Chains A and B, each alone.
Chain A
Amino acid sequence: MYLQIVLLILLITAILAVAVIVGKYMAAVYKHERSPLDFLKQVEHFIFRVGGIDPQQEMTWKQYAVSLLVINGIWWILSFALLLLQGSLPLNPAGNPSMEWSLALNSSISFLTSTNLQHYSGESGATYLTQIAVFTFLQFVSAATSLAAGVAIVRGLARKASNSLGNFYSDLVLSVTRVLLPLCLLAGILLMFCGVPMNFNKPQSITTLQGDKVTVATGPVAAMLPIKEFGSNGGGFFGANDAHPFENPNVASFIIHVFMVLLLPAAFIFFLGYYINQKKFSRMIILIMCVGVVLLTIPIISQEIAGNPLQSKMGISVLSGNTEGKEVRFGSLLSSFYAGINVAIPAGTLVSMHDSYMPLSGISMLLGMQIDAFFGGVGTGWINMLVFVIIAIFMGSLMIGRTPEVFGKKITMRQIQLAMGIYIAQPLICLGLTGITIFAYNNLNAAGAAPAWFSNNSSHNFTTVLYEFTSSFAGNGSGFEGLADNNVFWNLTTAVAMMAGRFIPVLGALAIAGIMLRQRPTPYSAGTLQTDSASFGVMLFFVMVVLQVLSLFPALVLGPINEYLTQLS
Chain B
Amino acid sequence: MTTRSNKLFEPALVQTALKESFIKLNPKVMMRNPVMFTVEVGTAIMLYMSIYSFLHTGQGSFSYNLIIFIVLLLTLLFANFAEAIAEARGKAQADSLRKTREETPANVLMPDGSIVSKSSNELRKGDYFVCEAGDTIPTDGEITEGLATIDESAITGESAPVIREAGGDKSSVTGGTKVLSDKIKVVVTTEPGESFLDKMIALVEGASRQKTPNEIALTILLASFTLIFIIVCVTLKPFADYANTPITIAALISLFVCLIPTTIGGLLSAIGIAGMDRALRANVITKSGKAVETAGDIDVLLLDKTGTITIGNRKATQFWPAPGVLPEDLVKAAVLSSLADETPEGKSIIELAQQSNMRIPMTAPEGAEFIKFTAETRSSGINTTDGLRIRKGAFDSIRNMSVAAGNKFSPDVEERVKAIASNGGTPLVVAQNEVVLGTIELQDIIKPGIAERFERLRKMGIKTVMVTGDNPLTAKFIAEKAGVDDFIAEAKPEDKMNYIKAEQQAGRLVAMMGDGTNDAPALAQADVGVAMNSGTQAAKEAGNMVDLDNDPTKLIEIVEIGKQLLITRGTLTTFSIANDVAKYFAIVPALFIASIPALQSINIMHLHSPESAILSAVIFNAIIIPMLIPLALKGVEYKPIGASALLRRNLLIYGLGGVIAPFIGIKLIDLLISLFF
Residues of chain A having any CB pair with chain B under 8 Å? 391, 394-404, 408, 411-413, 416-417, 420-421, 423-424, 427-428, 431-432, 434-435, 438-439, 441-442, 457, 459, 462, 520-523, 525-530, 533-536, 538-539, 542, 546, 550-551, 553-555, 557-558, 561-562, 565-566, 568-569
Complex interface: chain B residues within 8 A of A439 (CB): 238
Identify which of residues 578-596 in chain B touch chain A, using a CB-to-CB cut-off of 8 Å: 578, 580-581, 584, 588-589, 591-592, 596
Q: Can you list 23 pairs linking A and B with CB atoms under 8 Å apart?
A: A394-B218, A397-B570, A398-B573, A400-B650, A412-B213, A421-B224, A424-B227, A424-B228, A431-B231, A434-B235, A435-B234, A442-B241, A523-B507, A526-B642, A546-B580, A551-B232, A555-B236, A558-B239, A558-B245, A561-B602, A562-B596, A565-B601, A569-B598
B residues in contact with A521, CB < 8 Å: 507
Residues A565 and B596 in contact, CB atoms below 8 Å apart: yes
For residue B304, CB closer than 8 A to chain A, the reply is no
**Residues in A whose Cβ lies below 8 Å from that of B591:** 554
Q: How far is the CA of A421 from the CA of B573 in the complex (A)?
A: 19
Instruction: For B243, give the chain A residue with the smallest CB separation.
Output: A558
B236 touches A442 (CB 8 A): no
Q: In angstroms, how far is the closest chain B Cβ from the Cβ of A404?
A: 8
| Most-contacted residue by chain A among B221, B242, B299, B651 (CB, 10 A) | B242
What 0/1 readout, one digit per residue, does chain B (461-488) give for beta carbons within 8 Å of chain A? 1110000000000000000000000000
A401 and B567 contact, Cβ closer than 8 Å, known pairs A395-B573, A526-B459, A558-B240: yes
Question: In the complex the two chains form, is B508's CB within 8 Å of A523's CB?
Answer: yes
In whole angstroms, how far apart are the Cα atoms of A162 and B69 in the complex? Answer: 54
Say how far B257's CB is from chain A's closest CB, in angstroms: 15
Interface residues of B in 204-238 (CB under 8 A from A): 213-214, 216-218, 220-221, 224, 227-229, 231-232, 234-236, 238
Write the chain B residue with the least CB distance to A542. B655
Query: A529 is contacted by which of B462, B507, B588, B647 (Cβ under 8 Å)?
Result: B647
Q: Which residues of A contact B229 (CB under 8 A)?
A: 550-551
In the complex, the answer to whether B243 meets A462 with C-beta atoms within 8 Å is yes
Which chain A residues border B644 with CB–CB below 8 Å?
A: 530, 533-536
Q: In whole angstroms, what is the CA distance A137 to B642 when docked?
A: 52
Q: Assess the B648–A398 pair: CB atoms within 8 A.
A: no
Q: Which B residues are CB-close (under 8 A) to A399?
A: 567, 570-571, 574, 646-647, 650-651, 654
Please report the C-alpha to C-alpha distance between residue A158 and residue B632 in the assembled complex, in whole angstroms: 38
**Chain B contact residues, CB within 8 Å of chain A:** 213-214, 216-218, 220-221, 224, 227-229, 231-232, 234-236, 238-243, 245, 255, 259, 293-294, 296-297, 299, 458-463, 505-509, 562-564, 566-567, 569-571, 573-574, 577-578, 580-581, 584, 588-589, 591-592, 596-599, 601-602, 638, 642-644, 646-648, 650-651, 654-655
Which B residues are CB-close (under 8 A) to A402? 296-297, 563, 566, 643
A518 to B390 CA separation, bound complex (whole angstroms): 58
Given contacts A408-B507, A530-B644, contact A400 B567 (CB under 8 A): yes
- Contact residues in B for A403 (Cβ distance below 8 Å): 213-214, 293-294, 296-297, 566
Contact A566-B598, Cβ < 8 Å, known A400-B643, A459-B243:
yes
A462 B242 Cβ-Cβ under 8 A: yes
Chain A contacts for B567, CB-based, 8 A: 398-401
Closest chain-A Cβ to B9's Cβ sits at a distance in Å of: 26
Chain B residues positioned under 8 Å from A395 (CB to CB): 570, 573-574
Cα A558 to Cα B505 with chains together (Å)? 56
Contacts of A533 in B (CB 8 A): 643-644, 647
A411 to B297 CA separation, bound complex (whole angstroms): 13
Q: Once the chains are docked, how many angstroms separate the CA of A552 from the CA of B224? A: 16
Q: Known contacts A411-B217, A431-B231, A533-B644: does B239 contact A522 (CB below 8 Å)? A: no
Given the interface pairs A394-B217, A431-B232, the reply to whether A530 lies near B643 with Cβ below 8 Å is yes
Residues in A neighbouring B650, C-beta threshold 8 A: 399-400
With most chain B CB atoms within 10 A of its CB, the pick from A398, A403, A421 is A398
* Assembly CA distance A343 to B117 (angstroms): 84
Nearest-CB distance from B268 to chain A (Å)? 12
Do A562 and B297 touch across chains, with their CB atoms under 8 A apart?
no
Q: From DSSP, what is the main secondary structure of chain B's interface residues?
A: helix
B224 touches A525 (CB 8 A): no
Report the bound CA distance from A558 to B241 in whole Å. Answer: 11
B235 partner, pick from A432, A536, A566, A569, beta carbons under 8 A: A432
Contact B242 A528 (CB under 8 A): no
Q: Which of B213, B221, B569, B598 contacts A562 (CB 8 A)?
A: B598
How long is the Cα–Cα vector from A441 to B571 in the complex, in angstroms? 43
Q: Which of A396, A404, A526 has the most chain B CB within a 10 Å cutoff?
A: A526
Selected from A398, A400, A550, the residue in CB contact (under 8 A) with B218 is A398
* Of listed B218, B238, B239, B563, residue having the most chain A CB within 10 A: B239
Closest Cβ neighbor of B651 among chain A residues: A539
Q: How far is the CB of B301 from chain A (nearest CB, A)?
A: 12
Contact A555 B239 (CB under 8 A): yes
Shortest beta-carbon distance from B294 to chain A in Å: 8
Name the residue of chain B whose CB is nearest to the CB of A527.
B461
Whether B570 pairs with A413 at a CB distance below 8 angstroms is no
The CA of A379 and the CA of B231, in the complex, are separated in Å by 28
| Contact assessment for B238 and A442 in the assembled complex, using a CB-CB cutoff below 8 Å | yes
Which residues of chain A have C-beta atoms less than 8 A from B638's C-beta?
A: 401
B314 shortest CB reach to chain A, Å: 32
Closest to A440 in B: B238
Complex Cα–Cα for A155 and B375 (A): 48
The answer to whether A428 and B242 touch across the interface, beta carbons within 8 angstroms, is no
Q: Tell me how far the C-beta of A24 lies from the nearest C-beta in chain B, rounded to whole angstroms.
A: 28
Nearest CB on B from A496, distance (A) = 16
A438 near B242 with CB under 8 A, answer: yes
Contacts of A536 on B, CB cut-off 8 Å? 644, 647
List residues of chain B with CB within 8 A of the CB of A562: 243, 592, 596, 598-599
Question: Once bound together, how far apart are the Cα atoms of A527 and B459, in whole Å?
Answer: 7
In the complex, the 7 A-B pairs of residues with the closest C-beta atoms, listed nearest first:
A398-B570, A527-B461, A401-B563, A435-B235, A526-B461, A565-B598, A420-B224
Given the known interface contacts A398-B566, A403-B293, A557-B602, the answer about A435 and B239 at a Cβ–Cβ threshold of 8 Å is: yes
Q: Using Cβ atoms and an 8 Å threshold, which residues of chain A touch B507?
A: 408, 520-523
The smallest C-beta distance from B237 to any residue of chain A, in angstroms, reads 8
Residues on the A chain within 8 Å of B216, using CB? 413
Chain B residue numbers with a CB within 8 Å of A442 are 238, 241-242
> Which of A396, A457, A525 has the most chain B CB within a 10 Å cutoff?
A525
A403 to B218, CA, bound (A): 11
- The answer to whether A525 and B602 have CB atoms under 8 Å apart is no
User: Known contacts being A431-B232, A432-B235, A562-B598, is A528 close to B461, with CB within 8 Å?
Assistant: yes
Q: A397-B566, A399-B567, A523-B507 are in contact. List 16 more A-B contacts (CB 8 A).
A: A395-B574, A400-B650, A401-B563, A403-B214, A403-B293, A408-B507, A431-B231, A438-B235, A523-B508, A527-B299, A533-B643, A539-B647, A546-B578, A555-B235, A558-B243, A565-B599
Q: In the complex, which of the residues B459, B505, B574, B651 contacts A535, with contact meaning CB atoms closer than 8 Å?
A: B651
Q: List A contacts of B459 (CB < 8 A).
A: 526
Whole-angstrom distance between the Cβ of B141 and the nearest chain A Cβ = 37
Residues of B within 8 A of A534 (CB): 644
In the bound complex, do residue B598 and residue A462 qualify as a contact, i.e. CB atoms below 8 Å apart?
A: no
Chain A residues with CB under 8 Å of B461's CB are: 525-528
The answer to whether B228 and A554 have CB atoms under 8 Å apart is no
Min CB gap A97→B, angstroms: 36
Closest A residue, CB atoms, query B227: A424
